[in-house]
C-alpha cells in the first residue's frame, strides 16, 4: 500500500501517523521527494483501514498495490482448490453440474426431477426450501418440509444436495446439507458469512446482483477467515442497463476470478438468462471461459412452476444439454465427477 502525504503536512503529524501505522505491525519505507512525501507500507496491509488513514488529515491519497483479500488470493495459494462435498469433487479439473428445480414444491415434483437429472449425469441436486422472493406474497418455499424432501431425494438418488440458507439461525437445520448455498441477496450478510466460516460446511457463494468481483472475493474471505476453505464461487449474472435479459452474465468474471483466486468458480446460466432457450449457449460459454461447473434449473412442468418456470429446462432439454456439456468439459480438460 502506498500513502501519499499532503505537501503541507507537519513533521509532527507525519510522525504520529507513522507511529499509528507501525503500531499495526506494518513497516514503512519513508520517501521524501521535492514534490511529494510518500510512505510505502510493507507487510500485511489487509487489516489497515484506508478511510481511517485518509481521516488523519495529512494523507492526500492511498493506493493499494496488492489486493485486500489474502486467504482467497491465488498469490499465496497458487494451486487450484478442490472442494469435496457429499463424496463429489468440485474444482481442480473436477466439473460439477448442480441441477434441480428452483424451489422444492412437492414430493412428486422433486423426486421426478431428481431421478431425471441423476439419469442425465448431474453431479448434485439443487432445490430451494427457503426462497428469497421479491414479493412477500409469492411462494416462499416449503421450508423445513422442503429440507426433508431434499434428504429423501438424496437417499433415493445418492446425489448430494445444495440448498439456500437465509440466516445463521438455520445452521443446525442445515447440518446435513451437503452444500449450503448463499444466495445473491445474502452475499454481503456478514454475520451469516462469519457463521459459515465457523461451520466447516461446503458453501456455494453466489455473486450479488450489483456486487463487484472484488466484493464477491471479500465475502469469500469472510468465510475463509473463519477457518472454512470449502468455498465455491458462483457467477449468476449482474444487473446492467440491458432489459432484454433477466441479468447480464458477466462471463469475464470467470477468468478474472480464476486468475485472482484459487477457489472453484461455477456459472448459473439459468438466473443469468431468465429464459430457458438461453441456458444452452450460456453454458457453452461458461465452459469455454474456464468454469468449474454449472448450476441449472430443471422442472418437470415449467409452465406450472411456482418459481422461475420461464428459465427452467425440462428434463428432456437438460438431458440434451448434458451430452454437450460432458463433451465440451472434457475438451477443456475437466471431467464430471
Ligand atoms: C437460486 O439459485 O435459487 C437463487 C435464488 O439464485 P440467486 O440468489 O442467484 O438469485
Ligand atoms: Mn430460481
Task: Quick: pLDDT tens for 160-193.
Answer: 999 999 999 999 999 999 999 999 999 999 999 9
Judgement on whether residues 138 and 270 belong to the same structural domain of the protein: yes
Q: Is the pLDDT of residue 316 over 90?
A: yes
Judgement on whether residues 89 and 219 belong to the same structural domain of the protein: yes
Dihedral sign computed on CA atoms, order 309, 295, 124, 145: negative
Question: How far, in Å, is the centroid of ligand 1 from the Cα of 183?
Answer: 5
In the chain, how many domains are there?
2
73 within a domain of the structure (yes/no) = no
Judgement on whether residues 97 and 215 belong to the same structural domain of the protein: yes
pLDDT category of residue 299 using cuts at 50, 70 and 90: very high
CA of 308, closest atom in ligand 1: 3
Question: How far, in Å, is the centroid of ligand 1 from the Cα of 203?
Answer: 14
Mean pLDDT of the chain: 96
Q: Probe ligand 1: pick from 183, 253, 293, max atoms within 8 Å of CB?
A: 183
State percent of the chain over pLDDT 90: 91
Q: Which residue has a Cα nearest atom 4 of ligand 1?
A: 183
Q: Which residue has a Cα nearest atom 9 of ligand 1?
A: 184
pLDDT category of residue 155 using cuts at 50, 70 and 90: very high
Judgement on whether residues 94 and 43 belong to the same structural domain of the protein: no
Q: Is the pLDDT of residue 327 over 90?
A: yes
Q: Which residue has a Cα nearest atom 3 of ligand 1?
A: 102
Q: Is the pLDDT of residue 43 over 90?
A: no
309 within a domain of the structure (yes/no) = yes
Judgement on whether residues 59 and 167 belong to the same structural domain of the protein: no
77 within a domain of the structure (yes/no) = no
Calculated CA dihedral for residues 232, 233, 235, 240, nearest 10 degrees: 160
Distance (Å, whole) CA 167 – CA 146? 16
78 within a domain of the structure (yes/no) = no
Q: Is the pLDDT of residue 33 over 90?
A: no
Q: Which ligand has an atom closest to residue 128 CA? A: 1
Judgement on whether residues 264 and 221 belong to the same structural domain of the protein: yes
Indicate the residue among 35, 63, 91 that finishes a domain: 63
Question: How far, in Å, is the centroid of ligand 2 from the Cα of 258?
Answer: 25
Q: Is the pLDDT of residue 222 over 90?
A: yes
Judgement on whether residues 213 and 109 belong to the same structural domain of the protein: yes
Task: Quick: pLDDT tens for 60-106.
Answer: 999 988 889 999 999 999 999 999 999 999 999 999 999 999 999 99
DSSP letter (8 states) at residue 277: G
75 within a domain of the structure (yes/no) = no
Q: Cell 460432458, residue?
A: 326
Question: How far, in Å, is the centroid of ligand 2 from the Cα of 236?
Answer: 11
Q: Is the pLDDT of residue 35 over 90?
A: no
Q: What is the DSSP string of 212-276?
A: -HHHHHHHHHHHHHTT---EEEEE--B--S--SSSSB--TTHHHHHHHHBSS-EEE-HHHHHSSG
Side by side, which strands form the sheet with 27-32?
A: 27-32, 37-42, 2-5, 59-63
207 within a domain of the structure (yes/no) = yes
Judgement on whether residues 200 and 310 belong to the same structural domain of the protein: yes
| CATH code of residue 240 | 3.20.20.70
Q: Which residue has a Cα nearest atom 10 of ligand 1?
A: 184
User: What is the extent of the structural domain holding 35?
Assistant: 2-63
| pLDDT value, residue 184 | 98
Give me the mean pLDDT over the 318-324 stretch: 98
Judgement on whether residues 14 and 112 belong to the same structural domain of the protein: no
| pLDDT value, residue 56 | 86
Task: Quick: pLDDT tens for 107-138.
Answer: 999 999 999 999 999 999 999 999 999 999 99
Judgement on whether residues 58 and 174 belong to the same structural domain of the protein: no
- The enclosing H or E element of 182 equals strand 179-182
pLDDT category of residue 268 using cuts at 50, 70 and 90: very high
Judgement on whether residues 271 and 133 belong to the same structural domain of the protein: yes
Q: Is the pLDDT of residue 244 over 90?
A: yes
| CATH code of residue 30 | 3.30.70.1140
> What residues does ligand 1 touch, defined as CB less than 6 Å away?
102, 128, 132, 164, 183-185, 206, 236, 268, 271
Pairing of strands 161-165, 179-182: parallel
Of 300 and 50, the structure prediction assigns the larger pLDDT to: 300
247 within a domain of the structure (yes/no) = yes
Between the ranges 16-20, 66-70, 202-206, where is the mean pLDDT highest?
202-206
Question: How far, in Å, is the centroid of ligand 1 from the Cα of 321?
Answer: 21
269 within a domain of the structure (yes/no) = yes
Question: How far, in Å, is the centroid of ligand 2 from the Cα of 297?
Answer: 7
Judgement on whether residues 103 and 237 belong to the same structural domain of the protein: yes
Pairing of strands 2-5, 37-42: antiparallel
Q: Which ligand has an atom closest to residue 246 CA? A: 1
Question: How far, in Å, is the centroid of ligand 2 from the Cα of 287?
Answer: 21
pLDDT category of residue 287 using cuts at 50, 70 and 90: very high
Amino acid at each position: 500500500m502506498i500513502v501519499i502525504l499532503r505537501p503541507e503536512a507537519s513533521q509532527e503529524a507525519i510522525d504520529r501517523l507513522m507511529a499509528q501505522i507501525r503500531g499495526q505491525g506494518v513497516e514503512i519505507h519513508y520517501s521524501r521527494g521535492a514534490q511529494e512525501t510518500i510512505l510505502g507500507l510493507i507487510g500485511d496491509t489487509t487489516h489497515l483501514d484506508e478511510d481511517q488513514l485518509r481521516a488523519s488529515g495529512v494523507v492526500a491519497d492511498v493506493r493499494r498495490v496488492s489486493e485486500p483479500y489474502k486467504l482467497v488470493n491465488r498469490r499465496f495459494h497458487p494451486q487450484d482448490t478442490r472442494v469435496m462435498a457429499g463424496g463429489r469433487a468440485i474444482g481442480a479439473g473436477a466439473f460439477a453440474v448442480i441441477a434441480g428445480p428452483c424451489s422444492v414444491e412437492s414430493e412428486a415434483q422433486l423426486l421426478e426431477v431428481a431421478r431425471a437429472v441423476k439419469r442425465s449425469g448431474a453431479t448434485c441436486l439443487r432445490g430451494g426450501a427457503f426462497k428469497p422472493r421479491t414479493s412477500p406474497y409469492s411462494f416462499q418455499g416449503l421450508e423445513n418440509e422442503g429440507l426433508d424432501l431434499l434428504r429423501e431425494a438424496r437417499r433415493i438418488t445418492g446425489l448430494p444436495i445444495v440448498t439456500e440458507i437465509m440466516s445463521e439461525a438455520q445452521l443446525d437445520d442445515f447440518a446435513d446439507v451437503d452444500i449450503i448455498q448463499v444466495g445473491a441477496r445474502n452475499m454481503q450478510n456478514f454475520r451469516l458469512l462469519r457463521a459459515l466460516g465457523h461451520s466447516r460446511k461446503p458453501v456455494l457463494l453466489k455473486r450479488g446482483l450489483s456486487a463487484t468481483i472484488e466484493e464477491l472475493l471479500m465475502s469469500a474471505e469472510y468465510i475463509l477467515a473463519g477457518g472454512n476453505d470449502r468455498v465455491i464461487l458462483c457467477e449468476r449474472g449482474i444487473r446492467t442497463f440491458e432489459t432484454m435479459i433477466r441479468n447480464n452474465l458477466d462471463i469475464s468474471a470467470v477468468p478474472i476470478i480464476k486468475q485472482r483466486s484459487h477457489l472453484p468458480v461455477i456459472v448459473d446460466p439459468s438466473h443469468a438468462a431468465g429464459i430457458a432457450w438461453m441456458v444452452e449457449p450460456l453454458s457453452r460459454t461458461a465452459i469455454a471461459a474456464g468454469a468449474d461447473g454449472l448450476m441449472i434449473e430443471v422442472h418437470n412442468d415449467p409452465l406450472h412452476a411456482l418459481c422461475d418456470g420461464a428459465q427452467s429446462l425440462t428434463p428432456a432439454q437438460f438431458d440434451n444439454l448434458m451430452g454437450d456439456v460432458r463433451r465440451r468439459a472434457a475438451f477443456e480438460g475437466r471431467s464430471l465427477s
